[in-house]
Structure 1
Amino acid sequence: MAAVTRPIAIIGPTASGKSALGLEIAERLGGEVVNIDAMQQYVGMDIGTAKLTVEERRGIPHHQIDTLRVTELATVANYKAAATFDIERLLDRGTIPVIVGGSMMYIQALIDDWQFPATDPAVRARWEARLEEIGVQALHTELARQDPDAARIILPTDPRRTVRALEVIELTGKPFAASQPHRGKPQWDTVILGVDRDTAELDDRIVMRTELMFRTGLVDEVTRLIGQGLRDGVTASRAIGYAQTLAALDGEHSLEQAYELTLQGTKRYVRRQRSWFRRDDRIHWIDGSDPAMVTTALRIARR
């Protein structure tokens, strides 16, 4: 059977089993993991992102994990540059990069070599002023009127990406999607494996994961991160689970409601992930509940 000489991307919805498969593939091929989950870049955001502990990583190096403080901005452009450097360094020394995660725009930017549109401080400032004036929900509605496709892929609670999309639309005179990468041959000839499960099974796993997060210390983790500036973090403070817990600690709702809102938010995010990934016909889909999942993944990677 042919040897694997190209990166393997293991993507899919939250709680599908990507991390476990990524570990198995990296271990069997002598590869190293490159994280492509935006929020796992943050130091200290461990429980709420289901980040593998150092012990769980089995001695396999993991790149693009714990690279940002919670006060720092996570951007697709910065991630893409850093991850590209890691992947090309690994390939140069003959090591297989195993790219693992589910952040949609990060994945497409990396795999399709997205070249980012320029920014204009004056235009950006005008949209940020509009954000301050009407709030993120209303601004997102404005985006939906201008570019429904962009509004579908950007959360209505994400002010930074909503502003950026409106900026790009104004600067280019084209829909935001026109500035995004178009799917062609994946960069580095990466093989893309998608992990998913039956919807009912995945829902059960999301419930179990959310319960585990709150039972094993998410509230304490958020409390600790507040002391490190979490409230000032533009992207970190809006992560699913963290935003809801912060609001509970601020008295906006109860911790029971924080749990329910986190569960609902995760399920909505999973629906968006599935919709996004299913449009990409380059992905080889694998059933995360199949006992032969690892064998199937290796067979596809070696074609």
Structure 2
Amino acid sequence: MADVIAVVGPTATGKSDLAVALAQRLDGEVINADSMQLYEGMDIGTAKLTVAERGGVVHHLLDVWPLAQSAAVAQYQLLAREAIADIRRRGRTPILVGGSGLYLRGALDNLEFPGESAEIRGRLALELDELGAAEMHARLASVDAAAADAILPTNARRILRALEVIEITGAPFLATMPAFESVYNCLQIGLDRSDLDDRVALRVDRMMSQGLLDEIRGLLPKGLRQSPTAGKALGYAQLLNCVDDQGEVTGDLTEALAITVRATRRFVRRQRSWFRRDPRVRWLDGAAADLTTQALRLVLP
């Protein structure tokens, strides 16, 4: 059996539930690899499993970052590898789960992150303020189409980082990524399904009925709007545009939810493209009635 298992793929495919089912059968513990589930209090909008839904399985790297923290893949890499080592040291199976492709590669692969330049980053930040994220994304597309395809046009932080790395290294951003070589004996199980467009719409509706707007209101005093990363998350960013700093609705919630659905569907296509490039991923239909059985056959052939 592999030393490390990862359940990967697009949003809304059922990854979290499969990871719990595998952990229950393999004496495992789950390590979160969803960049937004790292943040404290972002529960409903990130589809974070409740304690009851975790089925008694220990979960690592949930709610470990305050909202004010900027997401850093290099820091996540350190935390994830510490968790993997701890779980393995206790004789249990680490199971990573999430759809944040760069975070997963950072945890699992021989990936070293390029340095940073405060000068370049500062200059690019000023250009972002002047031109906007869409124009900076277009610039990225002109010099590295593959990177632009993998990064949402609204994700200003990642756009700036990609442009910074390109300027520092003189090479395309994704060219700094290593070959598909894991540092572990790892099995990656990918989930996909044909009904994701419908599932995304249902998921957004369910999040609203579960209280996403109230969750956002509760996070406003904690700095959600000012957060460089958390406040840009899908769903949160769109609803933040509809409420004032006291949480009063000032915009069109119906249109905000429609925008969230469209943006999430685009994100699903980007996730699918990212993970499909990795030849190591063993794909399963997330809609299969015997999904757990099929996954266990891959784990224990």
Q: TM-score, normalised by structure 2?
A: 0.95
Q: What is the aligned counterpart of 1:248 among 238, 242, 258?
A: 242
Report the AA paired with residue 11 of structure 1: V
Cα deviation for residue 133 of structure 1 reads 2.0
Aligned to 1:204: 198
Between 209-218 and 250-259, report the one with greater CA deviation.
Answer: 250-259
User: Alpha carbon RMSD of aligned pairs, Å?
Assistant: 1.3
Cα deviation for residue 70 of structure 1 reads 1.2
Aligned to 2:12: 15
Aligned counterparts, 1:40-189, within 5 A: 40-184=37-181, 186-189=182-185
Aligned to 2:297: 299
Report the AA paired with residue 54 of structure 1: V
Contact residue 109 and residue 181 of structure 1 kept, 8 A: no
Q: What SS is found at the alignment partner of 2:222? A: coil
Cα deviation for residue 63 of structure 1 reads 0.4
Q: What SS is found at the alignment partner of 2:203? A: helix
Cα deviation for residue 202 of structure 1 reads 1.9
Cα deviation for residue 52 of structure 1 reads 0.4
Cα deviation for residue 286 of structure 1 reads 0.8
Report the AA paired with residue 193 of structure 2: R
Report the AA paired with residue 16 of structure 1: T
**What is the CA–CA distance in structure 1 between the aligned matches of 2:201 and 2:116, rounded to whole Å?**
40
Q: Deviations over 1:96-134 (max 9, x none)?
A: 001111111111222213100011111211111211221
Cα deviation for residue 5 of structure 1 reads 4.9
Q: Percent identity?
A: 45
Q: What is the aligned counterpart of 1:191 among 187, 191, 194?
A: 187
Return structure 1 stretches of 4+ with deviation > 4 angstroms: none
**What is the CA–CA distance in structure 2 between the aligned matches of 1:190 and 1:254, rounded to whole Å?**
46
Contact residue 108 and residue 181 of structure 1 kept, 8 A: no
**What is the CA–CA distance in structure 1 between the aligned matches of 2:105 and 2:220, rounded to whole Å?**
32
- Taking structure 1 as reference, are residues 96 and 145 closer, same or farther at Cα in structure 2, changes over 3 Å only? same
Q: TM-score, normalised by structure 1?
A: 0.95
Q: Deviations over 1:151-195 (max 9, x none)?
A: 1111111111111111111111111112123212x2211100001
Question: Structure 1 residue 229 and structure 2 residue 223: aligned?
Answer: yes
Q: What SS is found at the alignment partner of 2:269? A: helix
Cα deviation for residue 253 of structure 1 reads 3.6
Contact residue 120 and residue 164 of structure 2 kept, 8 A: yes
Question: Structure 1 residue 238 and structure 2 residue 232: aligned?
Answer: yes
Contact residue 162 and residue 173 of structure 2 kept, 8 A: yes
Structure 1 unaligned spans of 5+: none
The count of corresponding residues between Structure 1 and Structure 2 is 297
Structure 2 unaligned spans of 5+: none
**What is the CA–CA distance in structure 1 between the aligned matches of 2:180 and 2:279, rounded to whole Å?**
9
**What is the CA–CA distance in structure 2 between the aligned matches of 1:12 and 1:178, rounded to whole Å?**
22
